[in-house]
Amino acid sequence: MAEQTKKVALVTGANRGIGLETARQLGKLGITVLVAARELKKAEEAAAELKGEGIDARAVKLDVVSDADIRALVEKIDKDFGRLDILVNNAGIMIDSRVGNQTSKTSPKQLRETFETNLFSVVALTQALLPLVRKSEAGRIVNLTSILASLTLHATKGSPIYDAKTFAYDTSKTALNSFTIHLAHELKGTTIKVNSAHPGWVKTDMGGEGAQMEIVDGAKTSVELATLGADGPNGGFFHLGETLPW
């Protein structure tokens, strides 16, 4: 029988880093969190950690590029809960060289692999789960992008990212921002809100050397957008409450 009392959130790539902290912060708000990871064992370990903190966390297997995993997860959420209130598309990869601007050396293979995870899988998962999000009283979809997705800032001399060019990653996140805009527009007459989140330059494996923000702060934007009230924004690009340029 479907559970109806608490809000239910799915966080992808939630076994570590920003994803795990996002699940933790949502769970501390009394939300049931589905901790998704490519390997079920890692999801179970993360969920056990959160359960030890009094959080209602459930482990789910999800390789975001696997159609079979997506289908199985949709069926499980439908059976167990009958709806999904929050979807945080957190999983992502960066395989670009961080040394200088290597755009002319970025291979089609790098682009395909990056877009497969950072864009195509997000679109596929969101589309598959949307019927369940529509059953929520106030669905929230959060797409984790990056300030590196901003075409405006990339083209502006003196901006914080003007000299930070990782072509495959940056363009995949720019495309994901476009998905946010388009889906938010489609759903503007509903109670669902879709927004893009820049977590900040966070001390994670992806953040690398020089990152300045702690993981606990890197999750705050996602959590804020996942728990927006009815008067909250739709179709925007944010970092800690501030609007970023597309």
Q: What is the mean pLDDT of residues 37-54?
A: 97
Q: What is the mean pLDDT of residues 17-44?
A: 97
Which residue in 88, 87, 89, 84 sits closest to 8, CA to CA?
84
- Decide if 2 is inside a domain: no
**In terms of pLDDT, which residue wins out, 139 or 100?**
139
pLDDT digit string (tens) for 184-234? 999 999 999 999 999 987 656 655 556 576 889 999 999 999 999 999 999
Mean pLDDT of the chain: 94
Reply yes or no on whether the pLDDT at 49 is more than 80: yes
Note whether 33 and 48 are within 8 A (CB).
Answer: no
Residue 151 belongs to domain with CATH number: 3.40.50.720
- Decide if 1 is inside a domain: no
Which residues are bridge partners to 243 per DSSP? 238
- Decide if 3 is inside a domain: no
Based on the residue annotation, tell me whether 41 is a catalytic residue of this protein: no
Based on the residue annotation, tell me whether 135 is a catalytic residue of this protein: no
Report the pLDDT value the prediction gives residue 1, as an integer from 0 to 100: 38
Reply yes or no on whether the pLDDT at 160 is more than 70: yes
% of residues, the chain, pLDDT over 90: 89
Domain span at residue 53 reads 8-243
Looking at the 3D structure of the chain, how many domains does it have? Answer: 1
- Marked catalytic residue, from 61, 173, 193, 220: 173
- Marked catalytic residue, from 7, 169, 193, 220: 169
Report the pLDDT value the prediction gives residue 207, as an integer from 0 to 100: 52
Reply yes or no on whether the pLDDT at 132 is more than 70: yes
Q: What is the mean pLDDT of residues 130-142?
A: 98
The DSSP letter of residue 246 is -
- Cα separation values, 243 from 89, 147, 235, 239, Å: 19, 11, 11, 7
Distance from chain centroid for Cα 169: 15
Write 221-224 long-range contacts (CB < 8 A, 24+). Answer: 221/197, 222/18, 222/22, 222/88, 222/90, 222/142, 222/144, 222/197, 223/22, 223/25, 223/26, 223/29
- Decide if 47 is inside a domain: yes
Confidence band, pLDDT 50/70/90 cuts, at residue 4: low
Q: Tokens 């997860």 correspond to what residue? A: 73
- Decide if 73 is inside a domain: yes
Report the pLDDT value the prediction gives residue 201, as an integer from 0 to 100: 73
pLDDT digit string (tens) for 58-105? 999 999 999 999 999 999 999 999 999 999 999 999 999 888 889 999
Q: What is the mean pLDDT of residues 33-59?
A: 97
Q: CB neighbours of 66 closer than 8 A, spacing ≥ 6?
A: none
Which residue in 68, 187, 72 sits closest to 130, CA to CA?
187
Q: What is the mean pLDDT of residues 16-27?
A: 96
- Decide if 216 is inside a domain: yes
- Decide if 81 is inside a domain: yes
- Decide if 192 is inside a domain: yes
Q: In whole angstroms, what is the distance from residue 122 CA to residue 63 CA? A: 11
Strand order in the sheet with 32-37: 57-61, 32-37, 8-11, 86-89, 140-144, 193-197, 237-239, 242-243
